[in-house]
Amino acid sequence: MSTHVKKPGWFTVHVLNRLVARLTRRGLSIRGSRVLAVRGRRSGQWRTTPVNPLTVDGERYLVAPRGHVQWTHNVRAAGGGELHLGKDVEVFTATEVADDDKPPLLRAYLQRWRAEVGAFFDGVGPDSSDEELRRVSPDHPVFRITVGN
């Protein structure tokens, strides 16, 4: 497993993420945003971060554009978490997607959110070949989420 991580800049951490999370907590979704809540794998404390769930062929996914970050480790350890939009809470279980199965999911994610996350994909975009998407797959965890289990 790669340890590739693209850390967000100060503006993203201190302004954008906080703004999106605040609006999402109040029930206003920005392009599908949700607040992910997952228990920390060491502390057991709830940790939150804004995410953009992806729906492909009726299945829902969480994609980690910045790589193997804290929330991906926590979801992997906990086996799931919660997605919040205002007062609505969806409890989900998570199954990690194999690298070879990621190209169509990464393509769909980049088609939807390239403007926000394209810089984290090393020049790979929605029009890239499956081979190029497969090359960056190990750097971007993807989880299929199932609500209600």
The per-residue pLDDT for range 9-47, each reduced to its tens digit, is 655 555 566 666 666 666 655 667 899 999 999 999 999
Note whether residue 139 is domain-resident. yes
Check residue 118 and give its pLDDT.
Answer: 83
pLDDT of residue 1: 45
CATH number at residue 143: 2.30.110.10
User: What average pLDDT score do residues 38-62 get?
Assistant: 94
Q: Name the percent of the chain in helix, strand, coil, to the closest 5.
A: 40, 30, 35
- pLDDT higher than threshold 60 for residue 3: no
pTM recorded for the entire structure = 0.83
Lowest mean pLDDT among 19-23, 84-88, 120-124, 140-144: 19-23
Q: Is residue 4 part of a domain?
A: no
Domain count, the chain: 1
Alpha helices in the chain (DSSP H): 10-11, 17-25, 70-78, 103-117, 130-136
Within a domain: 31: yes
With a cut of 90, say whether residue 61 has pLDDT above it: yes
Question: Cβ(105)–Cβ(140) under 8 Å?
Answer: no
Tell me if 82 is assigned to some domain. yes
**Which of 117, 113, 80 lies closest to 96 in space, CA to CA?**
80
Q: Is 29 exposed, middle or buried (0-12, 13-18, 19+ CB in 10 A)?
A: middle
Grade residue 82 by pLDDT with cuts at 50, 70 and 90: very high
Residue 1 belongs to a domain: no
**Residue 2 within a domain:** no
Q: Report percent pLDDT > 90 for the chain.
A: 66
**98 lies in some domain:** yes
pLDDT score recorded for residue 30: 63
pLDDT-above-70 percentage for the chain: 79
Structure-token match 């403007």, residue found: 115
Both structure tokens of 58: 């009726």
45 occurs within a structural domain: yes
| Domain span holding position 105 | 10-147
For 62, counting Cβ atoms within 10 Å of its Cβ (0-12 exposed, 13-18 middle, 19+ buried), the class is: buried
